[in-house]
C-alpha cells in the first residue's frame, strides 16, 4: 500500500468526479490507496474540498501557495482557511511556505508574513504543515524555528534542496517528501539526499499533474506514478520496495493522523 501525500486532483480533471474516479481506480490497481489533495489558494479550495468529501480515500489541505499570496489580501484568505481547517476532511495546513525562485509574486516580506500566519494556524489547530520551499533555505528554517517554537510539525514537500537543509528540517522533527524528480538522470545531488534521510522520515508524492517520473517524464503525472518514486527510494536506499511502501505509509499515517 502507498499513499500519494501530495497531488492536485482538481488540476487533473477539475470537479469531473467520474474522471477522477478513473484516476483513483488506476492508482488503486497499482497499490496506491490513499491520496492527499492539496490546496494552493482559496479560489480553488471548494474544488479540493468537494473531491475530498466525495471520495473516502481522499483527504484535503487548506493553504495558500507562496506564489499566490499577492492575488488577494491574506486577511480574506485566512478567514476562509479558518472556516475549513477544523474539518475532519482536512488533514494539514498548506501548501504554504517561501519561494524566492519565481519572479511572479516575489514579495519576500509578504511571503514571510503569510507563512508565519500558516504556522500559527497549524499550531492552533494541531494540524501539520505542508511546506513549499525553493531558494529560501535560511528563511524557511528560521521561521519554522522562531514561529514554530518547537510546536510545529509537518513535511517539506517535493524536496529539492540541500542535504544541509534536510538535516535542519529533520532536527526540527519534520518529514521530507520526495517526488518524481529523484528519478531524473541528472538529479545526483538530490539522490544523495534520499540516501541520507532516514526512511523513518520519508514520504512519497507525485505533485501530479506535474513532475511525472521516469519513464513517464514529459507526460501528465498522476497518483499511480508514486509507485515509481517509491521504487527509486528503495533502489537508492538499498531496501525492498515493500519496505518503502510499509514505512512511508506508516509515516504518512502518523503525520496526518489518518489511520
CA 111 to CA 164: how far, in whole Å?
Answer: 23
Work out how many domains the chain is built from and give that number.
1
CA neighbours closer than 13 Å in the CB half-sphere of residue 152:
32
Using one digit for the tens of pLDDT, what is the confidence trace for 138-194? 999 999 999 989 899 999 999 999 999 999 999 999 999 999 999 999 999 999 999
**Averaged pLDDT for residues 4-8:** 98
Domain range for residue 143? 2-256
CA 259 to CA 256: how far, in whole Å?
Answer: 9
Q: Given this model, what pLDDT does residue 74 score?
A: 83
Confidence of residue 10 (pLDDT cuts 50, 70, 90): very high
Single pTM value for the model: 0.96
How far lies 63's CA from each of 15, 22, 92, 178, 188, in Å? 19, 27, 9, 20, 31
**Averaged pLDDT for residues 83-99:** 97
CATH for 121:
3.20.20.140
Q: Given this model, what pLDDT does residue 72 score?
A: 75
**Averaged pLDDT for residues 51-78:** 92
Across the chain, what does the average pLDDT equal? 96
Residue 73 or residue 113, greater confidence: 113
Locate 53 and state its grid cell. Answer: 468529501
113 phi and psi angles, rounded to 5 deg: -60, -45
Confidence of residue 29 (pLDDT cuts 50, 70, 90): very high
Residues 6 or more apart whose Cβ sits within 8 Å of residue 89: 49, 52, 53, 59, 60
Q: Residues 150, 8, 257, 34: is their CA dihedral positive or negative?
A: negative
Confidence of residue 225 (pLDDT cuts 50, 70, 90): very high
Q: Given this model, what pLDDT does residue 259 score?
A: 79
Locate 251 and state its grid cell. Answer: 509515516
**Averaged pLDDT for residues 108-121:** 95
Confidence of residue 228 (pLDDT cuts 50, 70, 90): very high
Amino acid at each position: 500500500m502507498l499513499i500519494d501525500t501530495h497531488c492536485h486532483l482538481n488540476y487533473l480533471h477539475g470537479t469531473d468526479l467520474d474522471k477522477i474516479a478513473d484516476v483513483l481506480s488506476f492508482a488503486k490497481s497499482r497499490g496506491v490507496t490513499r491520496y492527499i489533495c492539496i490546496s494552493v489558494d482559496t479560489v480553488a479550495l471548494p474544488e479540493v474540498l468537494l473531491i475530498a468529501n466525495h471520495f473516502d480515500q481522499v483527504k484535503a489541505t487548506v493553504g495558500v501557495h507562496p506564489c499566490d499570496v499577492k492575488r488577494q489580501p491574506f486577511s480574506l484568505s485566512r478567514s476562509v482557511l479558518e472556516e475549513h481547517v477544523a474539518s475532519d476532511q482536512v488533514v494539514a495546513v498548506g501548501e504554504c511556505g517561501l519561494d524566492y525562485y519565481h519572479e511572479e509574486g516575489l514579495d519576500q516580506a509578504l511571503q514571510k508574513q503569510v507563512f508565519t500566519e500558516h504556522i500559527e494556524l497549524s499550531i492552533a489547530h494541531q494540524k501539520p504543515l505542508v511546506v513549499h520551499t525553493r531558494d529560501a533555505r535560511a528563511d524557511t528554517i528560521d521561521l519554522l524555528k522562531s514561529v514554530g517554537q518547537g510546536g510545529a510539525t509537518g513535511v517539506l514537500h517535493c524536496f529539492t534542496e540541500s542535504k544541509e537543509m534536510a538535516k535542519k528540517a529533520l532536527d526540527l522533527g519534520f518529514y521530507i517528501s520526495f517526488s518524481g524528480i529523484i528519478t531524473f538522470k541528472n538529479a545526483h545531488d538530490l539522490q544523495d539526499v534520499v540516501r541520507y534521510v532516514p526512511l523513518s522520515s520519508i514520504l512519497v508524492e507525485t505533485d501530479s499533474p506535474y513532475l511525472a517520473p521516469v519513464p513517464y517524464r514529459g507526460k501528465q503525472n498522476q497518483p499511480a506514478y508514486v509507485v515509481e518514486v517509491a521504487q527509486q527510494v528503495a533502489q537508492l536506499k538499498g531496501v525492498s520496495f515493500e519496505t518503502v511502501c510499509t514505512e512511508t505509509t506508516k509515516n504518512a499515517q502518523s503525520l496526518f493522523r489518518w489511520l
